[in-house]
Chain A
Amino acid sequence: MGLWEDTAFLSRVLTLLTLSFHILYATVGVGVPLLIMIAHWMGIKKNDDHYILLARRWARGFVITVAVGVVTGTAIGLQLSLLWPNFMQLAGNVIALPLFMEVFAFFFEAIFLGIYLYTWDRFADQRKHLLLLIPVAVGAALSSVFITIVNSFMNAPQGFEVLNGELVNISPLLAMFSPAVPTKVAHVMTTAFMTSAFVLASIAALRMLQGSKHEYHKKALFLTMKIGLVFAIATALVGDLAGKYLAEYQPEKLAAAEWHFETSSEAELILFGVLDGEEPKYAIHIPYALSILAGGLPSSEVIGLNEFPEDERPPLWIHYLFDTMVMIGMWLAFFSLVFVVGAYRKWKFIQAKWMSWLVLASGPLALIAIEAGWWFTEVGRQPWILRGYMTVSEGATGSDQVGLMLILFTGLYVILGIGTVVVLTRMYRRNPVEKELALREEQKEAEVE
């Protein structure tokens, strides 16, 4: 059977493609409302037009990303049933509740986003308008919480029993609060805020590299880097907890990520390297680090991959994904710390051109880390779609037209990706901040007269 006839494989590729595309927009969609809110609030508090304009211009760009996020989110929502009907039939009995609640959160966000966008300057009191943004930010955050709960269930299913192939004793609430939930939800939220902050910092850096000397960009840069720093540190802390969660509940994922074959205490952490059979080559070995990551002490025992039957092991290449995610995360935390401290102490090199280049890189880097992290978590639970209960190939559709759909959706995402970039650059290029600020000044003078 060629891969082109293998519907389970094709369904995996199509799901991977849709989700990988969607999470770029979804991450920004969860994080940016908070940043808009902070900028808007600072503008009102400091009575500084620059921050108000920052909120306004971010909001304009945000709508474009939300639109693509909404349509790709609708796609993945329906694809779950189209590509994985057997899985949805089984899991629907247990995990429908958070899925349903996600739609309400999404509803809530959609309603207030529409209102926020179309009531700028409509209320005499600016604070009223700011209030409208709270349900947007809360709705966006809550929908990410609920959907992550669904994903956590797939990693650590609970809240039901299997009796003669039938699901019995179902408890929707128990299924919702699986052990994977706390670390997963916290990690998704903190990385979303972190990534959004760095993406917006990148934009400010880009404008400065293009030669704009305006105060506005410096304010934007400093604000976003500060927020980025806070959430980068939070991400690192939560990441450590996530490692401990894996060691306890999904040891095969952690073992595959770290090429840890034999169960042992005082386990070393392997950085980089390539695998030759069971021997990592060219790798950096950090003694005890894996034990500390897994259990908090150098003496903690870490379960090795050899404890698992061969057909239940995740692929070993997830090590590279894990490394990518962790390295980028560490770098961003370190870099933003240097930047923020440097900016406070007015160190010269903060203004240097190479520094702007580094800031410019941080947004895309954070997005790459998001992709790597999700691929790691998803590929890391292979071969299961519902860990311990259903494999991926058992969950896939029996339809033989998945290949054709894969081609169609690839085309769609190419169009949407190009469209986003073209529209966003056009939008900001035609209306640079200098022009908009000048216009506002004129309006104000006209009002005074």
Chain B
Amino acid sequence: MTLEIIGIAVLWLFLYFYVIVASIDFGAGFFNAYSAFTNKQHLLTNVIQRYLSPVWEVTNVFFVFFFVGIVGFFPQSAFYYGTTLLVPASIALILLAIRGSYYAFATYGAKINHRGYIYMYGLSGLLLPAALSPVLAISEGGFMQLENGEPYLDYWALFTSPLMWSIVVLAIAAVLYISAVFLTWYANKAGDVKATDLLRRYALIWALPTIITATGIIYELRGHNFAHYERLLDFWWMFALSALMFIGTVFLLWKRRNYGTAFILLAGQFFTAFFAYGISHYPYLLYPYLTIYDSFTNESMAIALIIAFIAGLGLLLPSLYLLFRLFLFDKDYVKGKSDYHV
């Protein structure tokens, strides 16, 4: 295994974690807003806040980790992606900033319960995946040209491309699906029957669009980047495994049992699909300009980064375990028996 592969595998793994924890966060905001809209807010707010409050900052760090890591391991990606992504990434940053600070203001600070804010918070949770997902479309190539050595983005081609819109729809559907499945499990642990029922329904509703758009994208790729499409087919067995786990999750939700297992299956479903997609993208970071080989940093930096990464994980994993034990797997905390907020 070369250093390049280790580098990209580490980053891909962190991106996967971000996708899962951010989806829970973004989706939770949306469900909270939707339930306020339908006057069921009292059912969900407590469950959602109890989970999100201690972890929202950690969620954010996964994102920072990914973009700092990619610039560290693949400095050339800063040149291509940095120049072209100014507008979409800035919009995502602004949404992220408003969302994060609003959450802190409202829950730790002023206890604002104004509906306008709740709707805005919910909506931003849907806009964010939409703003971040064009990156995946751009990485397929065809939307970026070089002009006098400077890359620039062809917005017209991007915004009229069915591929980009399918990715946006998939991102939104997946966010809501992942979030609903997780929160069903969490609400069930809290012994909150009404919240569990409501969230279970949301999970089942969003399962279908998720799987349809995911399949649709493979079809879109056929027209857009045939070489990538063919490589995707090489990994059909990973997608088949992913589909099986999807069926497992839906089955368990339908039968109202083993919500914990249902969530683990969901995590597995996205893990296999995410990695199958990533491996088939190999060796390109940006088709056809940038491969992981020509953009890779020098060897001494790569080794230093990997050592720092291993040392960092040594600190991180036990700390994350402590965090989960205190808030995710602690029955009294989950049930909200006592409020220990500072």
Contacts and interface: CB of A to CB of B under 8 A. Distances in A.
Tell me the interface secondary structure of chain A in the complex: helix
Contact of B323 (A115, A409, A426): A115
B291 to A, nearest CB: 16
Interface stretch (B63-71, B175-183, B193-201, B275-283): B63-71
Contacts of A63: 104, 108-109, 342
A69 B125 CA distance: 20
B83 A85 contact: yes
Contact-residue size bin, chain A (C-beta under 8 Å from the other chain): 35 or more
A99 B60 contact: no
B82 A88 contact: yes
Contacts of A67: 57, 100-101, 103-105, 108
Contacts of A82: 82, 85-86, 89-90
B68 A75 contact: no
Interface stretch (B72-80, B230-238, B264-272): B72-80
> Most chain-A CB neighbours within 10 Å: which of B96, B300, B338?
B300
Given A103-B61, A119-B326, A92 B312 contact: no
Contacts of B342: 56, 59-60, 63, 116-118, 120
Contacts of B53: 114, 117-118
Nearest to A425: B110
B82 A100 contact: no
Given A64-B109, A81-B82, A96-B305, A70 B57 contact: yes
Given A68-B101, A99-B72, A416-B101, A427 B110 contact: yes
A60 B108 contact: yes
B58 interface: yes
B97 interface: yes
Contact of A75 (B85, B97, B103): B97
Contacts of B316: 104, 107-108, 111
Contacts of B94: 408-409, 412
Interface in B107-132: 108-110
B58 A81 contact: no
Given A85-B79, A108-B316, A103 B60 contact: no
Given A96-B75, A398-B83, A405-B86, A72 B67 contact: no
A306 interface: no
Contact of A101 (B76, B312, B322): B312
Contacts of A104: 308, 311-312, 315-316
Contacts of B64: 73-74, 77, 103, 106
A118 B109 contact: no
Contacts of B212: none
Contacts of A79: 90, 93
Given A96-B297, A120-B340, A103 B65 contact: yes
B211 interface: no
A119 B338 CA distance: 10
Given A110-B57, A110-B58, A426-B109, A171 B300 contact: yes
Contacts of A78: 67, 89, 93
A398 B151 CA distance: 8
A100 B75 contact: no
Interface residues of B, number: 71
Contacts of A412: 94, 97-98
Interface in B295-333: 297-298, 300-301, 304-305, 308-309, 311-312, 315-316, 319-320, 322-323, 326-327, 333
Contacts of B73: 96
A112 interface: yes
A172 B110 contact: no
Contact of A397 (B55, B83, B91): B83
Nearest to A167: B298
Interface in B22-43: none
Interface string A113-142: 111111111100000000000010000000
Contacts of A230: none
B150 A398 contact: yes
B79 A74 contact: no
Given A67-B101, A72-B97, A423-B105, A110 B82 contact: no
A66 interface: yes
The 10 A-B residue pairs whose C-beta atoms are closest, nearest first, are A92-B75, A67-B104, A96-B72, A85-B82, A104-B312, A114-B54, A88-B78, A71-B97, A398-B150, A81-B82
Interface of A: 56, 59-60, 63-64, 66-68, 70-75, 77-86, 88-94, 96-97, 99-104, 106-108, 110-122, 135, 167, 170-173, 397-399, 401-402, 404-405, 408-409, 412, 415-416, 419, 422-424, 426-427
15 contacts: A63-B108, A67-B108, A77-B67, A79-B90, A80-B71, A85-B82, A89-B75, A92-B78, A96-B68, A110-B61, A118-B54, A397-B83, A397-B86, A399-B84, A423-B110
